[in-house]
Amino acid sequence: MIAPLRPVIVAANWKMHTTPADAGELARTIAARTREPDVIRVICPPFVCLAAVNAALAGEAVAIGAQNIHHELAGAYTGEVSAPMLAGLATWVIVGHSERRRHAGETDELVGRKLGRAVDGGLRPILCVGEHLHERDAGRATDVVARQLAGALDGHKPDALAAAGLVIAYEPVWAIGTGRNARGVDANAMADVIRITLAERGWEELAGTTPVLYGGSVTSANIGEFVGEPAIDGALVGGASLKPDEMAGIVARAAVTARARLSQIAAS
């Protein structure tokens, strides 16, 4: 696969942090500290902060994403948010995050339905996949990620996913807040698994052009190890995305990779 053809993306997942009173100022600060034209920046605040972040980022080249959507368009689903409700508030959305799979019991089939709602709703999806520690230790990491990916993509058409700008995030659950770190080579190998799985479905073009992000306790100190790998196209950042200094370092290092890829294209 030709990595330079894929964009470099840094997406911030604020999870259940910030309030409408402070989210706007944090978003403004991060946007000002991360102005790198060669990196696509996305901030995904809690639902209640979407409007505040939108207002704060007016005029900034920073996309705004939601952290989740419901698999139906409307209905008696108390506390849920559907794709149409996000119109004017978000242009990206995270689906299938490991915490949603774990805490909300989301299955591959349900994640696939959410992916469909995102595509139909004009939202750019970040589809998350990743294995648990016991699965990796049992040598099943490849099988788990391939199964999650195939299950979520079942029934979808590659042309529609490509048009929607599908992004896939590999997030090893065992490396999130556990003190056990993944290595760049681990992430690169799993990104290859993701692309092979896409190609085995007959989606060779999508396999080559879909950005794959790494998400697993990303910091400014370790980001270089991941974006330095040819199959990794950026990061889905959790806790560090709430810290402007960390985000500045992460985006700055991602920009180095982006410029290197653009230079390779120019030289070819």
Please report, for the chain, the start and end positions of each structural domain, with discontinuous segments joined by +.
3-90+104-267
- Terminal Cα distance for the chain, rounded: 15
Residue 251 has phi, psi (to 5 degrees) of: -70, -35
- Catalytic entry in 97, 225, 229, 246: 97
CB 136 within 8 A of CB 172: yes
- Determine the pLDDT at residue 151: 96
Give the fold, CATH level 3, of 3-90+104-267.
Answer: TIM Barrel (3.20.20)
pLDDT in tens, 210-261: 999 999 899 999 999 999 999 999 999 999 999 999 999 999 999 999 999 9
Low-confidence ranges of the chain (pLDDT < 70): 1-4
109 catalytically annotated: no
CA distance 243 to 158: 36
Residue whose entry in the numeric block shows the structure tokens 């469909």: 116
Token digits for 179?
């003190």
- Determine the pLDDT at residue 3: 43
205 catalytically annotated: no
CB 43 within 8 A of CB 65: yes
Residue 59 burial (C-beta neighbours within 10 Å; 0-12, 13-18, 19+)? exposed
CA distance 125 to 81: 15
- Determine the pLDDT at residue 195: 97
Residue whose entry in the numeric block shows the structure tokens 């997406």: 11
- Catalytic entry in 106, 171, 229, 246: 171
Rg of the chain over CA atoms, in angstroms? 17
Say how many CA atoms lie within 13 Å of 84 toward its Cβ.
Answer: 4
Classify 65 as helix, strand or coil.
strand
CB 172 within 8 A of CB 131: yes
Strand ranges in 32-99 using DSSP code E only, listed in sequence order: 39-44, 63-66, 92-95
Residue whose entry in the numeric block shows the structure tokens 């065992």: 174
H-type alpha helices, 90-219: 98-103, 108-120, 133-137, 141-153, 158-164, 184-200, 204-209
CA distance 93 to 130: 18
Classify 12 as helix, strand or coil.
strand
Nearest residue to 164 (alpha-carbon basis) of 95, 214, 107: 95
- Determine the pLDDT at residue 80: 97
Output the CA torsion sign for 15, 162, 172, 253.
negative
CA distances from 85 to 32, 47, 71, 116 (A): 28, 10, 12, 15
CA distance 53 to 1: 36
Residue 18 burial (C-beta neighbours within 10 Å; 0-12, 13-18, 19+)? buried
- Determine the pLDDT at residue 181: 79
CA distance 182 to 218: 10
